[in-house]
Amino acid sequence: MSHIAYVNGRYVPLRKAQVHVEDRGFQFADGVYEVFPVYAGRIVNQDWHMQRLAQSLQGLRMGWPLAPGVLNMILPEMLRRNGVTNGGMIYLQITRGVSPRNHAFPGGKVKPTLVIMARAVNMAARHAQAETGVRVITVPENRWPRRDIKSVSLLPNMLAKQQAAEQGASEALYVNDRGIVTEGASSTFWIVRPDGVLMTHPLGHDILPGVTRRVVLEIAREKGLKVEEREFTLAEAVKAREAFLTSATNFVMPVTQIDGQILGNGAPGDLSLSLRRAYIERIE
Ligand code: PDD
């Protein structure tokens, strides 16, 4: 089935989907995005993703290209048109629009650019990966100080991911100049301390407020687990009993190695796997 993209009001075959060369997203990465998970053919946590999109738009002083209610109707239509009936994802990007190149915001009324794509994801491969866990590396935190905005300026994230791939790892964790692990290049990072306490970095400007993070926190608290949203160092992370990543596309993904150092017994931790199962049950 050919892929269909949504571009500024029209559903078009992906190979014909185009944006203008003077789009500010292309020239300045002046835009925001969202990744909506799709499970069993349904969009997961849609309201939370829309709420974060609203915050990202506000963070860059951009307006909605369409009323959120209309956007909410286009998303399932994209699944239908792309035949995404099982696992998958929807990518949505909004830029400030097309205007002659000039760093400052364009004057007058410029229409934001809206692009949406939908894809199936091989869920069996993701589940298999969770059975063995993934390796991660660390990189110095070199991103701008407003990581809570889901901006398309992903150059540092992309370079970190490439470095991870070249070292046979799945993710790169950012470690700031105080030795604190903030998050992954495209995921939230969690540890289980030797005393069993679950920890993840607190919200604020330093990390993206992950939607999966929010749901996993809710599940953990319902299970009566001890949870702390508090900073922790890389030294604490490598001594952790367990570690895992969360994101829209990976759900809960156990981590077994950081920079080649094996965590726990080198296998995915029980708590990580039980949170993964609980998360999947919830989105089902
Ligand atoms: N990334 N932190 C960063 C920097 C991210 O890019 C992401 C998601 C997350 C996790 O957020 P959520 O649970 O809402 O997916 C944390 C998406 C999946 C991406 O860029 O593809």
pLDDT tens-digit profile of 231-266? 999 999 999 999 999 999 999 999 999 999 999 999
Q: Which residue has the CA at smallest separation from atom 2 of ligand 1?
A: 187
Find tokens 């791939």 and name the residue.
Answer: 165
| Residue 255: half-sphere exposure toward Cβ, Cα within 13 Å | 32
Residue range(s) of every CATH 3.30.470.10 domain in the chain: 4-121
Which band of pLDDT confidence, cut at 50, 70 and 90, is reported for residue 108?
confident
pLDDT tens digit sequence for 192-228 = 999 999 999 999 999 999 999 999 999 999 999 999 9
Q: For a pocket test of ligand 1, which of 33, 34, 35 has the largest count of ligand atoms closer than 8 A to its C-beta?
A: 35
Catalytic residues: 150
- Cα(208) to centroid of ligand 1, in Å? 7
Q: How confident is the model at residue 63 (pLDDT cuts 50, 70, 90)?
A: very high
- DSSP bridge pairs for 172: 137
Report CA(247)–ligand 1 centroid distance (Å).
Answer: 5
Residues near 144 by beta carbon (within 8 Å), at least 6 away in sequence: 153
Given a contact cutoff of 8 angstroms between Cβ atoms, the answer to whether 258 and 173 are in contact is yes
In eight-state DSSP terms, residue 193 is: -
Dist. CA 106 → ligand 1 center (Å): 29
Residue 250 CA: which ligand 1 atom is closest?
Answer: 18
Q: Is the pLDDT of residue 2 over 80?
A: no
Mean pLDDT estimate for the chain: 97
Question: What is the number of alpha carbons within 13 Å of residue 28 lying toward its C-beta?
Answer: 20
Closest approach atom of ligand 1 to CA 150: 6
User: Which bin fits 230, alpha (ψ -120 to 50), beta or left (φ > 0)?
Assistant: beta
Q: In the chain, helix, strand, coil percent, each to 5?
A: 30, 30, 40
**Average pLDDT score over residue span 117-136:** 95
Residue ranges, CATH 3.20.10.10, the chain? 126-283
CA of 148 to the centre of ligand 1 (A): 10
DSSP conformation class of 257: E
- Fold exhibited by the domain 4-121: D-amino Acid Aminotransferase; Chain A, domain 1 (3.30.470)
Q: What is the pLDDT of residue 238?
A: 98
DSSP string, 7-44: ETTEEEEGGG----TTBHHHHH--EEEEEEEEETTEES
Q: Which CATH number fits domain 126-283: 3.20.10.10, 3.10.580.10, 3.40.50.1110, 3.20.20.210?
A: 3.20.10.10
